[in-house]
Amino acid sequence: MYEVFNNLIDQDSVVEVLKEAIESSKNDLDDSQGMTHAWLFTGPPGSGRSTAALSFAAALVCPNSGCDSCNHCRTALAGSHADVELVRSEGLTIKIDEVRELITRASWSPSVSNYRVVVIEDADRLTESAGNALLKAIEEPGLRTVWLLCAPTLSDVLPTIRSRTRNLTLRTPSTKAVSILLQRASIPAELADFSARASQGHIGRARRLALDEGARNRRTAILKLPTAITDIASAFKAAALLVDAAKKEAEIESDRRDDKEIHDLKEAWGQQGSKLSQGGSKAVKELEKEQKSRSTRMVRDYLDIALLDMVTFYRDVLLVQSDATDIADVIINMDLEYEIMKMSAITTAEQTLRKMDAIMRTRVNLSHNANPLIAVEALMVQLR
């Protein structure tokens, strides 16, 4: 039992609480309140919020409390278990119609296990009306229904929902724990260490860096930008390069998903030949609109990752400038030691701090819908 919680990396205190909940869920007379019907998993991106929720779901439906090997566990983790409903939103928002259908399904009795579990991966994307509809279901839960919501932080969900759920906060896993995880997946130790360190505890990003050489090359190219910016012209060039890379990345991802989604949707509307009913055409138009805004968001997400990488570069520079001992232990981007040393020699710590601040401000501006190219150009000029 509880083996399924080994999928959670470096989250001992969360696992403790979940084990207690499983324990008391098995005993209907248990009044220790270990088990409740609505949970909210929060934690920084990459910390494993949805893994935690799905592992808990598996442990609730597994006859052996989460053995991680039976069919219940495997299908629950994949979101395909008959009594586990996984809401994985690709769109920007989760709408009220979607939530209403969900509530209906959630009220059914479990078919093969003791619980019916609903996992909502992006509870922060619930529209206000969807959130209010969900609130009603959470306030009057079915005896055997468990709601597991995930969101980056508490402030990302409606306060009313927050107050009705039990919150578990995941922490950023340590570099060492992430490296061990990658090595368990047969990634060589050196590459695992590098990827874990470069991604600063973001498990998904670490995995991507470890498995995708293209992602590693793009990261290196971005981290070399600061040393390439010497004047206004090179600053604009660097900005264009960064934004183009982000667009390219979003394009690759969109191409992979958009056509299939449209195809599936048309099929769902029973397309005959090329003739689509009025409702079907409207649905396709709506999907296309949503895909367009998703692609815009992907450009911003990618830029954000790139900017975070750049902050770690300047952080390394600052450490060298402040005469840190044992550089090898504290520097994140060891593969760019040459660039870091060079930059720390020709600039002052004060300048480095100002640059880090400029990057962080650009991230905020981008999250407030600033034009990406103009925001990045302004940044690069400041990084000269």
CA 312/CA 302 separation, integer angstroms: 16
Residue 191, interface with Zn ion (CB under 5 A)? no
Q: Which stretch binds Zn ion (CB under 5 A): 61-69, 220-228, 310-318, 368-376?
A: 61-69
Q: Which stretch binds Zn ion (CB under 5 A): 9-17, 60-68, 119-127, 315-323?
A: 60-68
Asked if 106 and 144 touch (Cβ cutoff 8 Å), the reply is: no
**How many whole angstroms from its chain centre is CA 345?**
36
Residue 73, interface with Zn ion (CB under 5 A)? yes
Residue 61, interface with Zn ion (CB under 5 A)? no
Residue 67, interface with Zn ion (CB under 5 A)? yes
- Residue 15 or 73 with smaller CB distance to Zn ion: 73
Q: At what angle do helices 232-268 and 372-382 cross, to 10 degrees?
A: 150
Q: Which residue is nearest to Zn ion (CB)?
A: 62
- Residue 65 or 172 with smaller CB distance to Zn ion: 65
- Residue 54 or 161 with smaller CB distance to Zn ion: 54
Residue 378, interface with Zn ion (CB under 5 A)? no
Q: Which stretch binds Zn ion (CB under 5 A): 49-57, 62-70, 95-103, 120-128?
A: 62-70
For Zn ion, what does the binding mask look like between residues 5 and 44, x meaning CB under 5 A? ----------------------------------------
DSSP string, 187-256: --HHHHHHHHHHHTT-HHHHHHHHH-HHHHHHHHHHHTHHHH--SHHHHHHHHHHHHHHHHHHHHHHHHH
Reduced to 3 states (helix: H, G, I; strand: E, B; else coil), residue 126 is: strand
CA 321/CA 318 separation, integer angstroms: 5
Q: Which stretch binds Zn ion (CB under 5 A): 54-62, 205-213, 224-232, 356-364?
A: 54-62
- Residue 2 or 302 with smaller CB distance to Zn ion: 2
Half-sphere exposure in the Cβ direction for 205 (13 Å, CA): 24
For residue 160, the one-letter residue type is T
Exactly one of 62, 238, 332, 366 binds Zn ion (CB under 5 A); which one? 62
Reduced to 3 states (helix: H, G, I; strand: E, B; else coil), residue 101 is: helix
Task: Kindly state the number of chain residues that form the binding site for Zn ion, as judged by CB under 5 A.
Answer: 5
For residue 236, the one-letter residue type is F
- Minimum distance from residue 114 beta carbon to Zn ion (Å): 13
Q: Residues for the chain: how many in total?
A: 384
Binding site for Zn ion (CB under 5 A): 62, 67, 70, 72-73
